[in-house]
Amino acid sequence: MLFKWLDTREATEVGAALADDLVLETSEGSSDTPPRDRSAQAQRRAVEKLLRRFLDGVDRRARSLPLNFFKRAKLANSFKWRLLEKGIARELADDLTQTLLLRLAGRPGSVSSGEPRPAPPPNDQSDRLQALTARGEACLARGESAEAVRCYRESLSLDPRNVAAGNNLGAALFQLGRNYEAEAQFRRSMSIKPGRANGRSRLQVALKVNLSSTLVLQGRLREAKTLLESALKTSPRHVDALIGMGQIAGFEGRFAEAEALFRRAAEVDPKSPKAWAMQVLHRRMTAADAPWLERAEEIVARELAPLDEAHLRYAIGKYHEDLGEFERAFHSHRRANELQKSVAEPYDRKARTRFVEDMTRVYTREDLARTPASASDSERPVFVTGMPRSGTTLVAQIIHSHPAGKSAGELPFWSTAMRRHDQVLRRAPIGEPLVGELAAEYLRVLAQHWPDALRVIDKATFNSEYLGVIHRVFPRARIIYLRRDPIDTCLSCYLQQLSQAMSFAMDLSDLAHYYRAHQRLFAHWRSTLPAGMLLEVPYEGLIADKERWSRRIIEFVGLEWHPRCLEFHRTDRVVMTASYWQVRQKLYTTSVGRWRNYRSFIGPLLELRDPGLERP
């Protein structure tokens, strides 16, 4: 049965027992001084004498167990956490854990006198594969996703049909926010043994759950749901599958069902950080939820992989903010962001600056006034954009409430096109034949979402980067830009768990840099786009006068007014952004001036106000 394959209790117990044995032998074999009172160097000398006995213990207790990569990772985490609990220095605990993983993979290990020593060069390909597997699994368990990607890519170069390595590579790519690469990798792994894709294979279930996660982030909920239902049919107690189904229920507005699924996942695995964290997303927490906080703090006190701990730290931060405990909320969110940043691709300030300079140099007023011959005259696309967390989901919901307007969510089309044609689009204004190709392809994408809608909204915030390109392709398309108080905008990014790809949001100084670059680029678009193509909507104005701004928005996109637009919170649609709960509530004003609750902690954000973006 699959749940036995995923049941890590025995592996966890063995890991803790190995650590207990090692610490006991170390204490008995050296001095009466407790481990935590001895230096790391003295601990290391004592442990080296007992290394052979330790490795013998690994062979005796663990190597006979049927350990898949999940169980090996859990065993290693349990071993390392118990060592730290017993006072073993962290660098020594890291080294011993690496030695343990190498031994479990069938390779001899050694304890070094400083940084972990690489394993000896392998004698053959099999040895190399085992070493890469051990290293990759250790990195994946610790959340070191970039290094795990390197290990699994090298492993697959030696053995392209290694399904487990392919699955792990997809998981590591997913953790880095490289979702399309992750999806492609999961599909490659699933295609290797298509005859086993009927759900009976343990690995195929894991592949389906992992692939479903990437599909969810791409907005492909129907495909994701099909995969998860298949996985749960085989393994009804699969925690990640239950969590995935709960996320989909939340995106679809079925909040009670979502919370029930998260609670079910937490019952199956009471130590699951994500299952516990997800329970706070669909309502405001109160003092009556103190038992939730107590259990969350118990879970987070254990040593967790960075992303696992981050999930729970963000949730704890939300709990404290809901209760008005802002200092505790900020400290929890700061820790969460530090953890996310530790495993994300670093934000590159120089690259960001170069991109803004290229866009402003290439896409001038004169170029945007000229229409390429193959440009589309369609008015179907409506682009709702701005900084992340600036109110774009709210405006998309208002338009979607109109019978003739539909939202396609955050389409990755233009970000993908920019990556694919980066050098071309940054050297000169987009021209033929690429204009016609992108126009036809994008209209096909919109038709796949809403074939009959008069207006289709694309609310990807990153489209604000490419407005010159977009206008050259769709010169009649309307663009709505959301302006929100800069400090509120950036703080909201910082207090929300965003994609790993948005690493700029995980550091206040990086956020300030990103916002200033964003501000410079949008000021350029404002001055170069033809009149009548751009409507700026102040978030605070929309909150204060919902009807006035809703009417302006609907008129701007070329639709007749409809009263349903004022009842947007009742509109039934899938919302895939971080605001999916908020947009189903009536408008509230607590998000305006929110930053004042955190004034003492957000120094780098306090000088972001720009009069050019604050005009009425």
Q: Report the alpha-carbon distance of residue 35 to residue 22 in Å, rounded.
A: 11
Is 399 within 8 Å of 557 (Cβ atoms)?
A: yes
pLDDT computed for residue 24 by the predictor:
65
- Reading the block at residue 38, the tokens are 């001895």
Greater confidence, 595 or 146? 595
Higher pLDDT, 184 or 383: 383
Query: Bigger pLDDT: 329 or 584?
Result: 329
pLDDT surpassing 50 at residue 178:
yes
**Phi/psi at 112 (5° precision):** -95, 180
Average pLDDT over residues 209-215: 79
Find, among 439, 430, 435, 432, the residue nearest to 380 by Cα.
439
* 63 confidence band (pLDDT: 50, 70, 90): low
- pLDDT above 80 (res 71): no
pLDDT at 603 over 50: yes
**Residue 16 pLDDT > 60, yes or no?**
yes
Radius of gyration, CA atoms only, the chain: 26
User: For the residues 23-44, what does the mean pLDDT come to?
Assistant: 50
Contact criterion met (CB below 8 Å) for 189 and 163: yes
3-state DSSP helix/strand/coil percent for the chain, to nearest 5? 65, 5, 30
DSSP string, 411-473: --HHHHHHHHTHHHHHHS---TTHHHHHHHHHHHHHHHH-TT-SEEEE--GGGGGGHHHHHHH
Task: Print burial letters for 223-260: b (CB count within 10 Å at least 16), e (below 16).
Answer: ebbebbebbbebbebbbbbbbbbbbbbbbbbebebbbe
Share of the chain above pLDDT 70, in %: 75
Provide the token pair at 197: 């894709």
Is pLDDT at 336 greater than 70 in this prediction?
yes
Q: What pLDDT does 54 receive? A: 62
**320-334, pLDDT tens digit by residue?**
999 999 999 999 999
pLDDT over threshold 80, residue 435: yes
Give the H/E segment covering residue 384: strand 381-386
In tens, the pLDDT along 378-408 reads 999 999 999 999 999 899 999 999 999 999 9
Q: What is the DSSP letter of 2?
A: H
What is residue 413's predicted lDDT score, i.e. its pLDDT?
92
Asked if 19 contacts 79 with a C-beta cutoff of 8 angstroms, the reply is yes
pLDDT by residue (tens digit) across 245-274? Answer: 998 888 887 888 999 999 999 999 998 999
Q: Which two tokens stand for residue 164?
A: 């487990």
> Distance between CA 424 and CA 441 in Å, rounded?
18
Q: How confident is the model at residue 201 (pLDDT cuts 50, 70, 90)?
A: low
Question: In angstroms, rounded to a whole number, what is the distance separating the alpha carbons of residues 112 and 110?
Answer: 6
Residue 260 DSSP SS3: helix
Split at pLDDT 50, 70, 90, the class of 53 is low
pLDDT score for 116: 40
DSSP letter, residue 537: E
Q: What is the average per-residue pLDDT within 120-128?
A: 59
Residues present in the chain in total: 616
- Give me the mean pLDDT over the 425-445 stretch: 96
The structural domains of the chain, ordered by start, are 1-120 (no CATH), 237-246+253-345 (1.25.40.10), 349-613 (3.40.50.300)
3-state SS, residue 261: helix
Residue-level pLDDT at 45:
53
Give pLDDT, residue 1.
34
Nearest to 392 by CA among 462, 448, 486, 337: 462
Task: Report the candidate in 440, 331, 461 with the shortest Cα–Cα distance to residue 376.
Answer: 440
CA atoms within 13 A on the CB side of 191: 7
Burial class (CB in 10 A: 0-12, 13-18, 19+), 437: middle
**Measuring CA to CA, which residue among 463, 410, 412, 429 is closest to residue 575?**
410
Identity of the amino acid at 343? V
Q: Which two tokens stand for residue 597?
A: 């609750």
Average pLDDT, the chain: 81
Report the SS3 class of residue 407: strand
For residues 498 and 134, the model is more confident at 498
Q: What's the pLDDT at 467?
A: 97
For residue 433, is the peptide bond before it cis, meaning its omega torsion is within 30 degrees of 0?
A: yes
Q: What is the pLDDT of residues 484-540, one digit of tens each?
A: 999 999 999 999 988 888 999 999 999 999 999 999 999 999 999 999 999 999 999
In a 3-state reduction of DSSP, which class is residue 325?
coil
How many other CB atoms sit within 10 Å of the CB of residue 600?
A: 9
Per-residue model confidence (pLDDT) at position 205 = 75
CA distances to 6, 351, 460, 463, 491 from 494, rounded to whole Å, are: 34, 21, 18, 20, 5
Other C-beta atoms within 10 Å of 49: how many?
12
* pLDDT for residue 572: 56
Contacts of 570 by beta carbon, 8 Å cutoff, 6+ apart: none
Query: What is the DSSP-derived secondary structure letter of residue 160?
Result: T
Higher-pLDDT residue of 122, 89: 89
> Where residue 78 falls among pLDDT bands split at 50, 70, 90?
confident
- On whether the CB atoms of residues 280 and 315 are closer than 8 A, the answer is yes
β partners of residue 465: none
The angle, 0 to 180 degrees and rounded to 10, between the axes of the packed helices 9-29 and 51-61 is: 160
pLDDT at 166: 83
The residue whose two tokens read 């939340």 is 250
User: According to the model, what pLDDT value does residue 510 have?
Assistant: 97
State the pTM of this model.
0.69
Q: Looking at this protein, which amino acid is placed at residue 394?
A: L
Residue 589 vs residue 204, higher pLDDT? 204
- With CA atoms as reference, report the closest residue to 494 among 292, 254, 317: 317
Share of the chain above pLDDT 90, in %: 45
